[in-house]
Amino acid sequence: MSTKIDDTLHLKNFINDVNRADNSRQKTVQIDIETAKRLRNALTNLLLDIVAVKTNKPDTTNDVTDVNMDGGTFK
């Protein structure tokens, strides 16, 4: 399995655990340290991927629009 699939699986399992606890009206969710580590690593990878996408995306906030005027009249 690739790392991205593993990360997605750990996140999905955590979400399912929370949903089950919520549906049974539990007040707490407990996970063991190994699951917590896997979840931490998955979230770290996800956040790093988001940062990489954002930094590689061209910044459109400072775009300059070129306006040419021909000196004509308003219609």
pLDDT tens, the chain, 75 aa long? 466 777 889 999 999 999 999 999 999 999 999 999 999 999 999 999 999 998 887 666 666 777 776 777 766
pLDDT, position 13? 93
Task: Give the CA distances from residue 40 to residues 4, 10, 60, 66, in Å, rounded to whole numbers and listed in that order.
Answer: 14, 9, 32, 47
Sign of CA dihedral 66, 71, 74, 75: negative
pLDDT, position 47? 93
pLDDT, position 60? 61
pLDDT, position 62? 65
Residue ranges per domain, the chain?
A: 3-56
CA gyration radius for the chain?
Answer: 24
